Amino acid sequence: MTDSAHPQLSVVVPLYNEEESVPRLIASVGAALEGADWELVLVDDGSTDRTTAVVAGLAGPGSRVRLVRLARNYGQTAAMQAGFDQARGKVIVSMDGDLQNDPGDILRLVAKLDEGYDLVAGYRVRRQDKMISRKVPSWVANRLIRRATGVPIRDNGCSLKAYRREVLERMRLYSDMHRFIPAVAAATAGARIAEVPVTHHARRFGASKYGISRTFKVLADLVTIAAIRSFRDRPLSLFGLAALASTLLGLAFAVASVIATDFRPEKAEALVLPSVSLLWFGLAAYLLLLGLVGEGALREFQDPEEGRPPLARELRP
Amino acid sequence: MTAGSLERVEAPAASGELDLSVVVPVKERPAPLDQLFDEYAAPLRAAGVRFEFLFVLDPRHADRAAALRGRSDDREPIRVLQLAQPFGEATMLKVGVDAARGRAVLTLPPYPRVEATAIPALLDALTDGTDVAVARRWPRQDGPANRLQSAVFNRLLGRLDRQRLHDIASGVAAMPRSVLRDLPLYGDFARFLPLLAHRAGYRVRELPCPQHAEDAHARIHRPGVYLRRLIDILGVFFVLRFTERPLRFFGLIGGSVALGGGVLLAVLAAQKLGGQGIANRPALLLAVLLVVLGIQAIALGLIGEIIVHLLATRRETYRLVDDDG
C-alpha cells in the first residue's frame, strides 16, 4: 500500500458506536476506490462501544485508513469538522458511517466536481426509510430549507457529498450545521453546487441516531441561516426592516387612538390604544439598537486571517 | 493574570521538576492556613510526592499569610499570591495555576473538606487515563440539612451532564496543570469545574473521599446566597447548552411568549369580527406586550447567532484525544 502525504481524495466518515459497520465500511470503500489515490479519515466521535479498538486495529502506518479520536461525543457536526481538518486530499468526500451510503457512488460525485463544481451533494433515490416518521418530515424540511436558504438542494439529509478543498477552507461547521452544509457553503464560500442521485441502503446495524422531535432545532437553525445570509452584506437591513414594520404598527395605533378619543370622546380608549402604540415604538427603537450591535460585531469580529473571500472561477475570455 | 501583586513569604528555589502544585484560593471561611498545610502536606510527603503549596489570598484575608511564616523550605515551597482586588474563586484558581510549577495541580478549598489521607488516591487516578479526578465527599458525616442542599444542587446540575456526578462543588480536584490552565473558567464558575471540564472533552472521574469532620457542621445560608447560586446554575446551564446556539434558547422563550400573545390577539380579533369593541380592552395591551417581548427575545438570540457565526473560525469546536492517552 502507498502512504501518500497528499492523496487526491480524502473520504471523511464520522463514527459513533458503529463497531459492526466499520469493517464492512472500510472494505467497501477500499473496493470502490480501487486504483485511486485515496485516504479514509475515520472520526471516532466518543464511541462507547468497541469502534475505536476495531478501527485502531485496521488503521496505522502504511494504511490508507486514519483514525481521529474526539475526546468525547461532540455530535456529528463537530466530528465532521474534525475530519475535514485532518483530511489531506484535494477533494474531500463526506459520508455516513452506518452503511446507508454506497461508497460506489463516491467516484461519480468526484467526476461531477470535475465538471466545474465546488460541492456535489448526493440525493437519495428510492429511500429505504419508513414513510411517516422519516420521509414526510424530511420532505417538509427540505422544502423549508430550500426556501430559507435559497439553495435548491433536494435532499439535505444525505451525508454523501464531495467538496473541493477550497470550499472547506472557507467555512467552519459548528452547532448542528451539518444538516445545512450546502447552504452554508453557498452563503460563506460562494460554492457552485450540483446534485447527483445516489443509492440508499436501509440500516443494517445499530439504531438510527435521529428522533422525530428535532423540528424546533431545525427551524431555529434555518432562521439563523436566513438571517446570516441577509446580514452578511447589509447588516442593518434585517433589523432595520423589522424596526420599520414596528414603527408603522406604532403609527397605526397612534392614529387609531387619536381618532377614537378625539372624534368619539364617549368611548374609553384613551389608555389602551396609545399604550399599544408606544409598545411598538419601543420595539422599533430596541431593534434599531440591536442592529447597531450587530453592525459593530460584524466590524470587530471579521477574522482577517481565517475569513477568506468567496470562491470565484476565472473565465478565459 | 496581572490582577494581583505577587508577594513571597519566603523565596522558594525550585529544585528540579515538581510533581504537584496545591492551589488554595483563600476566600470563603478560611481555616488557619498553617494547620491546613500541615494536615494536607503530611500524606503527600508520605507518598513521596514533590509538591508546592500556592495560597491565593483574597484582600480580605491578607493577614492570613503570617501564619505560614517559617514553614516553607526549598523542598516544600509555600508560595503566597496576594491579590490587591477581590476576584471570583475561578479567577483565583487561574492566578494560582499561572504561577504553578507542578506537572499536576490539586485544588483545595481553604478549609478541610475531605480527609487528607484520601488525596494520594486522587493523584494516582491521573495516571490511568483520567484527566480530572474529583473528590466526592463520601461517606458523609454531616446532617440532613447539608445533605439535602447538596443533593438538590447536584441533582439540578446532574441534568446538564450525561455523566452523573454526585459532588460537583466539592472543590477538591486533581488534574494536569495544562487542563486547569486551558479550562474556560471565570467568575464564580469554579464550583462547576467538573462539569465544564467534562464539557470540554476531558475524562472526569469521581472518587469517594471520606468527608472531613470539620466540613460536617450545618450550613444554612442567607437567602441571598441561595438566590446567587440559582443564578449561577442558570448561567452554567446556558453556557453548557446554548453558547453555540443562542437562538434555540432565546427562540424557545421568545417564541412561546409571542405565541401566547398571538393567540390572545386572535381571540380579540374574533371578538372584534363578532361586533364587540376591543379598543378599550386591557387584554389588547397585554397581547401586544407579549408579542413585543417575544420579538425582542428572538432578535436578541439572532444577534447572538450572528456573533457566534462571526467567531466560528476562531473557536475550537472539538478536542482530540491526546496522543499518549
Q: What is the pLDDT along chain B (325 residues), one digit of tens a residue?
A: 334 444 444 444 455 689 999 999 999 889 999 999 999 999 999 999 999 999 999 999 999 999 998 888 888 899 999 999 999 999 999 999 999 999 999 999 999 999 999 999 999 999 988 899 999 998 888 888 888 888 888 888 877 777 788 888 889 999 999 999 988 887 778 889 999 998 888 889 999 999 998 888 777 888 888 898 888 888 888 888 888 889 999 999 999 999 999 999 999 999 999 988 787 788 999 999 999 999 999 999 999 998 888 888 777 788 888 654 3
Query: Which cell is B216 given?
Result: 460536617
List, in sequence order, the alpha helices (H) in A116-234.
136-149, 165-168, 181-184, 215-233
Interchain CB distance below 8 Å, A71 and B296? no
Q: Chain A contacts of B244, Cβ < 8 Å?
A: 174-175
Q: B211: distance to nearest CA of chain A, Å?
A: 31
CB pairs A-B closer than 8 Å: 134
Residue A120: name the closest of A148, A160, A85 by CA: A160
Which pLDDT belongs to residue A215?
Answer: 74
The residue among B241, B252, B317, B322 with the most chain A CBs within 10 A of its CB, best to mutate, is B317
Q: Grid cell 430596541 — which residue?
A: A286
- Name residues 208-247 of chain B within 8 A of A (Cβ): 244-245, 247
CA A284 to chain centre: 32
Answer for the pair A134, A149: CB distance below 8 angstroms, yes or no. Answer: no
Interchain CB distance below 8 Å, A221 and B245? yes
Question: What is the pTM assigned to this prediction?
Answer: 0.81
Number of neighbours of residue A209 by Cβ within 10 angstroms: 12
Residue A281: name the closest of A239, A241, A244, A235 by CA: A244
CA distance A283 to B258: 13
Which pLDDT belongs to residue B40?
Answer: 96
CA distance B247 to B290: 18
Q: What is the bridge-based pairing of β-strands A161-164 and A119-124?
A: antiparallel
Which pLDDT belongs to residue B5?
Answer: 41
**Helix B223-242 crosses helix B144-158 at what angle (to 10 degrees)?**
20
> Do the interacting molecules here have an ipTM over 0.90?
no
Interchain CB distance below 8 Å, B311 and A173? no
Q: Within an 8 Å CB–CB cutoff, is residue B253 touching chain A?
A: no
Which pLDDT belongs to residue A266?
Answer: 60
Answer for the pair A232, A295: CB distance below 8 angstroms, yes or no. Answer: no
Q: Which residues of chain A have pLDDT under 70?
A: 1-4, 127-134, 203-214, 263-270, 303-307
Which pLDDT belongs to residue A81?
Answer: 95
CA distance B309 to A184: 11
Answer for the pair B135, B118: CB distance below 8 angstroms, yes or no. Answer: yes
- Name residues 280-299 of chain A within 8 A of B (Cβ): 280, 282-283, 286-287, 290, 293-294, 297-298
Which pLDDT belongs to residue B184?
Answer: 83
Which pLDDT belongs to residue B8?
Answer: 43
Which pLDDT belongs to residue A264?
Answer: 64
Interchain CB distance below 8 Å, B279 and A280? no
Q: B245: distance to nearest CA of chain A, Å?
A: 6
Report the SS3 class of residue A300: helix
